Amino acid sequence: MQEQIYINGEILPAEQAKIHVSDLGLVRGYGIFDFFRAIDGKPVFIEDHLDRFENSARLMNLPIPSSRGQLRDIILEIIRLNPHPLLGVKMIMTGGYSEDGYTPAEKSNLIVTGKPFSFKPADVGMKLMSLEYRREIPEIKTLNYIVPIRALQQMKAVGADDVLYHQNGKISESSRSNIFIVKDEKIITPLDGALFGVTRKHILSFAKNHFEVEERDVTTQEFWEADEVFTTGSTKRVVAITQTDNQVFSNGKVGKITQKLQELFLAHEKATEKNNA
């Protein structure tokens, strides 16, 4: 079945869902998005993603052309029309059709897509390549991924799966996921310079019932000296970082606290789904 896409008030088959060349997302990269999963037709943490999308829109001075209720209905319709056991849902909004190619239009362009999605196995860790960078406005989920996409060739050359952003002696996040370190059974995640990830938020909400948890600046030195490192995101849930540059963590295996959080997160996600049913 062909993918059905919502675009500016219409739902169309993918090949007919087109955007004009004057779109400000295309010509100036001015836009935001958000991504989440739907499992068996039920969106996971949808209200958190709507909150973040609204926050990104407000901080970017972009008006959302639909109310929250309308946007939720559009999302549910896209999930219904693209029936897959595991669906990745994306809301994209740009500065619209700009007359002068610079000033945002009165009406933003709004797109919602739903594509089949799959997770990588949870028992496999990832390798990161450190990269000196901090996203320009870290609290906004903008369309700008220029730096990590440009680094893809370099990553491939060193066998890395993703990047670790650091600047001025502090780490912040990876390209599309948040970073946590574990030291002496304490779980620590950067507060400044990172996107407020929805997965991160949920981990923080329940991890404090089991471990000591800190949200604060994390120095690169603390990172290198960590007992375990893991990363979190909607496309990953919780994944171990077993190596960064030449430094191997937890003997190249998924550490025991990371494993515990993987289990706790799965149970938490399931329980949230049940409550929403």
Ligand X SMILES: Cc1ncc(COP(=O)(O)O)c(C=O)c1O
Footprint of ligand X on 118-147 (CB under 6 A): 141
Stretch that binds ligand X, among 65-73, 116-124, 228-236, 256-264 (CB under 6 A): 228-236
Stretch that binds ligand X, among 89-97, 110-118, 193-201, 241-249 (CB under 6 A): 193-201
Rounded to an integer, what is the distance from CA 153 to the centroid of its chain?
22
Residue nearer to ligand X on the CB measure, 57 or 195: 195
Exposure class string for 206-221: b at 16+ Cβ within 10 A, else e:
ebeeeeebeeebbeee
Residue nearer to ligand X on the CB measure, 199 or 258: 199
Cα gap 174→134, rounded to integer Å = 10
Within 59-125, strands assigned E span: 86-94, 109-116
Q: Is residue 161 part of the contact set for ligand X (CB under 6 A)?
A: no
CB 7 → ligand X: shortest distance, Å?
22
Q: Is residue 255 part of the contact set for ligand X (CB under 6 A)?
A: no
C-beta of residue 92 within 8 angstroms of C-beta of residue 31:
yes
Q: Is residue 264 part of the contact set for ligand X (CB under 6 A)?
A: no
Nearest to 25 by CA among 90, 115, 116, 117: 90
Which residue in the set 4, 98, 234, 244 belongs to the binding site for ligand X (CB under 6 A)?
A: 234
Cα gap 31→266, rounded to integer Å = 32
Which residue in the set 109, 113, 142, 199 belongs to the binding site for ligand X (CB under 6 A)?
A: 199
Within 56-184, strands assigned E span: 86-94, 109-116, 126-132, 162-167, 170-171, 178-183
Which residue in the set 75, 110, 200, 254 belongs to the binding site for ligand X (CB under 6 A)?
A: 200
Q: Is residue 178 part of the contact set for ligand X (CB under 6 A)?
A: yes
DSSP letter at 88? E
Q: Is residue 170 part of the contact set for ligand X (CB under 6 A)?
A: no
- Footprint of ligand X (CB under 6 A): 35, 141, 173, 176-178, 195, 197-200, 232-234
